[in-house]
Amino acid sequence: SSAYGGYSDQLAIVAAYDRWEKAQSRGAAEKFCAQNFLSMGTMNMLSAMREQLRRELSMKGFIPHACNLNANDVGIVRALVVAGSYPMVGMLLPALPTGKKAIVQTAQGMKVRIHPHSLNFKLVHASNQKQEAVNKPLLVFDEVTRGEAWMYIRNCTVVKPHPLVLLASEMVVAPCSTEDSDSDENDLSAESSDEEDMSNEAKGEKIMSNPDSPVLVVIDRWLKFQTSAAEAAQIFCLRERLSAAIAFTVVTKFLPNILASILIDVMILKLMSNIV
């Protein structure tokens, strides 16, 4: 899966299929399957399913006859995995001091482990040994299965939070619970007693009115990210535009080039934002 950024069972299959297609063009598909423990029949079935899906999307007007412009864009491909898997998403929790393996907490509150057959099973050991740093320990997965002692996720992909911020059904912004800076404390000490007794709602409005104020973005009532008030407002606008573009495309089966270009430009800027 390193061809698509690594840490992904789903994209490992995509990478294997890509290499199988290249081997097939050279007449070496059977040899490739034998060397990599793949089933030729399964690969042919995948090929037929992909072609059927492409024809259906083309007939319904969602894609042109030949559409493969972003197949090598790792960020877009991984974002599509998020879109197809959501809301099956979880957060990798840190390993316990007792030496037990790290676990994943799902959006539904379940605590599961990564199956030993998953490519990401090594991610758990790396987290324990602190030898591997993952910027955003979020995972999307296919399903949760029951083992002898634990619930497991087998097919999973490590993802960044940006696609979740854009695709989640609910987004709430609130003032950060962290203490204000020293300068803010000095300003507050000089205020009158009436201002010191202002309600929490009024304080929140004051914080949100400052574009640089740190705020907490809560996604679907469980994922929390810290950013600025200005960034949060821009994310809200982008979510609205993205929803409108998707609705327009579903109704008309056509997305004007100028609208698509604007959306892509804005999304690229958001992917480079300072969400932490």
Distance (Å, rounded) from C-alpha 234 to C-alpha 266?
10
Q: Model confidence over 112-169: pLDDT tens digits?
A: 999 988 988 877 544 444 434 344 589 999 989 988 888 999 899 998 888 888 888 8
Contact 20, 32 (CB under 8 A): yes
Structure confidence at residue 98 (pLDDT): 59
Q: Model confidence over 47-88: pLDDT tens digits?
A: 999 889 888 877 877 776 666 777 788 888 888 889 888 889
Residues ≥6 apart with Cβ < 8 Å to 254: 61
Q: What angle do CA 53, 56, 58 make, to 5 degrees?
A: 110
| Higher pLDDT, residue 167 or 192 | 167
Query: Tokens 């789903």 identify what position?
Result: 10
- Out of 31-45, 131-145, 178-192, 242-256, give the one with best mean pLDDT: 31-45
Q: Model confidence over 79-112: pLDDT tens digits?
A: 888 988 888 999 988 766 655 677 898 988 889 9
Burial letters for 233-267: b for 16+ Cβ neighbours within 10 Å, e otherwise?
Answer: ebbeebbeebeebeeebeeeeeeeeeeeeebeeeb
| Long-range contacts (CB closer than 8 Å, 24 or more residues apart) made by 24-30 | none
Distance (Å, rounded) from C-alpha 99 to C-alpha 187?
47
Structure confidence at residue 58 (pLDDT): 78
Q: Over 60: is that where the pLDDT of 266 sits?
A: no
Provide the whole-model pTM: 0.73
Contact 117, 171 (CB under 8 A): no
Q: Give the Å distances, CA to CA, from 102 to 10, 116, 185.
A: 21, 13, 39
Structure confidence at residue 191 (pLDDT): 45
Contact 250, 260 (CB under 8 A): no
Q: Across the chain, where does the E strand assignment appear?
A: 89-92, 104-106, 111-114, 138-141, 144-146, 151-153, 156-159, 171-175, 214-219, 223-228
Contact 121, 112 (CB under 8 A): no
Pairing of strands 171-175, 156-159: unpaired
Structure confidence at residue 136 (pLDDT): 52
Q: Model confidence over 203-223: pLDDT tens digits?
A: 556 656 778 888 888 888 888
